[in-house]
A and B are shown apart, each in its own frame.
Chain A
């Protein structure tokens, strides 16, 4: 009987177009939108680009390139930067250089001015930005070196050679420590929040199941209440059927993200599958909880449930990516108990960390939530008696 009920329930759910759209199709569409919007944003906003520099001079009838070559030290600095791929250097007259910068064809103009001691330089930008900041700092590097050498030549000529060696030594002063973190792309956070939303939308199936087993909610439930089938077998088989559908839809979503959109979720698919299974158990249990605890019309239950789920997902970063972090700083306890944050943290830990301590903590938290919600739901369902049907 258990498996018969299970099969029937799976069929019923597979025929419910409304649920399949919101739990199956909508997350896929939202994932596609995320991909369209965020796929190149990290590369465009954070990666190191070659900086376009147009070298010019305000001196009349002076060629900027010729002037640059007159000063060996500066010319070698510019050439090294170009060879190493940091600069893309061009030369232009003052007027043309200003136009190039204002039209955003180069990041900045380096204006050279002849002085008694050599050349002075200044920069012209169209606005502020990372490339401009880096360019300014690179030019400063040259200026600082020049100043230190001049000062040493004047105050301590004996140490001049050591100073020059120190300034241009190849010995590195910085060493990066690997974080053992795999994927640090912040926009992946949206996909984890999307997983959390999908799993929590499983509550809609749970809510539908309660509608079909509470005799004061639907005529189907009245007929079923009058049948000799054990209530526990009915509830458990339907719960399992709901989780099966959820798992199926989750696999389709994850496969679409990885295979079609090329989202990097790592290769620990076993852990992802376990996480999605436990998250689905939690999502469906949440629907049962809303279905039995809130009294009233089905539409009211749906409305309240959806508002709660979307609010929890908002706080877990579905709409504003760093919301979870803002809460982590203000009230970290809330992130430990918000089911949406726990689910998204769980997927984040699989993709970003090698060690599993955070993953295990999230799985246990989801388990506790599921047991809690399911226990309350079963207790309320068991007590329900109808004076007449």
Chain B
């Protein structure tokens, strides 16, 4: 088992770069999974917009506007200067800043036209929505004032009126046997995805990075001319060498798969169903094969570890940005989305969308799942074949 031992020795020597990727992954995955929700039942809720109010009038009306906006949105304290507002808007800490100008309450009470000032990110739906939201309040309030109510009563009546909102239901909650639409559609539209979804979303990035940086140098070492010649003249048969190399690759892959799936189970075991977990095992195995295929091919193309490091970064980041790992597929442009179909990560993400929320095998869209996994296996085979072709070409050249 000398070859197998040498394989593992070289693998262990590369651990610092692998650990760096592992740490990066954990930071990114933990930050991303914090977006996930553990809510059991999905209910409709309005978008919460972060805003601020500067009550320069110091009036009760200014406070009432702030209270009204705070009912469904999030009030954020921001310093009352243009620089602070600009920074907060740029980083979307707030989307809207209302300024209640001096003398506003007096003007409204006396029926004069005076505007509320605002800063916002222009030409956005949020900006438009907040304008409309405030307009509802002001127009209702002014209507009560022209109907001979004093300011205090008008504020009270306005709040009462605006409490009566139109009823909202979710299509999934409507118990109507006549509906033939896909009841799972809500899970793809809603943002309330479980945490494990986001964890598994980042797996392609880390698998590509770790497998190429971790295993690439091993293949390069074994591919070196002197090492190859030494192996050729040794007593070890070619078959034994091949089997041991294969075992090495399997061990490497099993360790990577084991670590990340155990981690997922430890972190999210309480929210993930056994069916979904088994599906993830199959999916990560398929993607691991793709990573091994790419590394196998790259191992024959490149002859320096430095180059392999660059290749690992370009491939892992490129496939991740393109294939919907870092940015959800629905946000990609149509041309980019078409290009994305050429990347294996795209099919992995599609499969992840199929698995999420599955409780038992009958819930699973088996056809879509098998199709996505099948495409991944075909990718792996293609990369292995290209690798073999490169190997053959190089041998002939030699």
Q: What residues of chain A have their CB less than 8 Å away from a CB belonging to chain B?
A: 18, 21-22, 26, 29-30, 33-34, 36-41, 44-49, 95, 98-99, 101-104, 109, 121-134, 136-141, 143-145, 147-148, 151-152, 155-156, 159, 162-163, 165-167, 169, 171-177, 179-181, 184, 186, 303, 307, 319-320, 322, 324-325, 328-329, 352-353
Contact = CB atoms under 8 A, between A and B. Distances in A.
Contact of B166 (A140, A163, A181): A140
B91 A322 contact: yes
B169 interface: yes
Nearest to B168: A123
State the main secondary structure of chain A at its contact with B. Answer: helix
Interface in B147-177: 147-148, 161-162, 164-172, 174, 176
A77 B280 CA distance: 50
A363 B141 CA distance: 51
B159 to A, nearest CB: 12
A296 B246 CA distance: 38
B128 interface: yes
A155 B148 CA distance: 10
Contacts of B330: 44
Contacts of A18: 306
A40 B132 contact: no
A173 B116 contact: yes
Contacts of B44: 125, 127-128, 132
Contacts of B133: 137
Contacts of A127: 42, 44, 170, 186, 189-190
Contact of A38 (B47, B116, B181, B327): B327
A162 B147 contact: yes
Contacts of A46: 121, 124-126
A34 B136 CA distance: 40
B129 interface: yes
Contacts of B124: 46-48
Interface in B107-153: 113, 115-126, 128-129, 131-136, 138-140, 142-144, 146-148
B92 interface: yes
Given A22-B310, A46-B126, A133-B129, A123 B178 contact: no
14 contacts: A21-B310, A38-B327, A47-B125, A95-B178, A95-B179, A101-B171, A103-B185, A125-B44, A128-B45, A137-B132, A137-B133, A141-B135, A147-B164, A174-B118
A273 B182 CA distance: 55
Given A126-B170, A174-B134, A184-B122, A156 B116 contact: no
Interface residues of B, number: 90
Interface string B335-371: 0100100000000000000000000000000000000
Interface string B190-212: 11000000000000000000000
B167 A122 contact: yes
B85 interface: yes
Given A95-B176, A130-B129, A173-B115, A123 B167 contact: yes
A286 B76 CA distance: 39
3 closest residue pairs by CB, A with B: A102-B181, A325-B91, A33-B321
B146 A163 contact: yes
Given A122-B167, A177-B117, A36 B185 contact: no
Contacts of A34: 321
A128 B47 CA distance: 7
B135 A174 contact: yes
B292 interface: no
Contacts of B167: 122-123
A174 B96 CA distance: 12
B118 A177 contact: yes
Contacts, number: 249
Interface stretch (B221-229, B268-276, B311-319, B372-380): B311-319
A99 B87 CA distance: 43
B143 A175 contact: no
A166 B142 contact: yes
Given A41-B327, A125-B170, A128-B191, 17 more contacts: A29-B314, A34-B321, A37-B331, A41-B331, A98-B171, A101-B171, A109-B171, A140-B165, A143-B165, A144-B140, A147-B164, A169-B139, A171-B113, A176-B119, A179-B86, A186-B90, A352-B86
B19 to A, nearest CB: 11
B322 A33 contact: yes
Contact of A26 (B116, B314, B327, B333): B314
Given A103-B182, A144-B140, A166-B139, A172 B171 contact: no
Contacts of B128: 48, 134
B285 interface: no
B8 interface: no
Which of A46, A126, A132 counts the most chain B CB atoms within 10 A? Answer: A126
Given A38-B327, A186-B90, A166 B166 contact: no
Contact of A102 (B45, B185, B306): B185
Nearest to A163: B143
B89 A156 contact: no
B280 to A, nearest CB: 24
A119 to B, nearest CB: 12
Contacts of A184: 89-90, 121-122
B267 interface: no
Contact of B143 (A36, A148, A322): A148
Contacts of B143: 148, 152, 163, 166-167
A36 B171 contact: no
A175 B171 CA distance: 37
A104 B189 contact: yes
Contacts of B381: none
B125 A173 contact: no
A370 B144 CA distance: 64
Nearest to A149: B143
